């Protein structure tokens, strides 16, 4: 059991919504553990939930914190952190 937490800066030009949020939620759904995401010490929401992520309203340059517990938490947080830091609106995924 290990608690993992990492804070990253949103890299997408449009912020963490539309296409970027969709890509993050899709990736989160594939991970073995639930990763939670929060902004400004607010409530941590399930990164698999596109609606919850949209409601965070994270803009480009905002800091968001990713947390996860259990086996594979490290890798899961890393995977989402890498994604969030990129400019996903540009990425041709």
Positions annotated as catalytic residues are 17
CA atoms within 13 A on the CB side of 92: 0
Out of 8, 31, 44, 50, point to the residue binding another protein (CB under 8 A). Answer: 50
| C-beta of residue 77 within 8 angstroms of C-beta of residue 17 | no
Beta-bridge partners for 65: 7, 38
**Least distance CB 26 / another protein (angstroms):** 8
Residue 6 lies near another protein (rule: CB under 8 A): no
Q: Where are the beta strands (DSSP E) in 1-93?
A: 4-9, 36-39, 45-46, 63-68
Out of 19, 75, 78, 86, point to the residue binding another protein (CB under 8 A). Answer: 19
Out of 11, 48, 64, 79, point to the residue binding another protein (CB under 8 A). Answer: 48
| Residue 32 tokens, joined | 């073995």
Residues that bind another protein (CB under 8 A): 13-15, 17-19, 22, 25-26, 45-46, 48-52, 54-57, 59-61
């Amino acid at each position: 059991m290990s608690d993992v937490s990492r804070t990253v800066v949103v890299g997408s030009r449009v912020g963490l919504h539309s296409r970027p949020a969709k890509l993050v939620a899709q990736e989160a759904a594939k991970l073995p553990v639930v990763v939670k995401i929060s902004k400004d010490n607010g409530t941590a929401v399930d990164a698999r939930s596109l609606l919850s992520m949209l409601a965070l309203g994270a803009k480009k340059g905002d800091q968001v914190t990713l947390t996860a517990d259990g086996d594979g938490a490290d890798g899961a947080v890393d995977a989402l952190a890498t994604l969030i830091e990129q400019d996903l609106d540009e990425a041709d995924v």
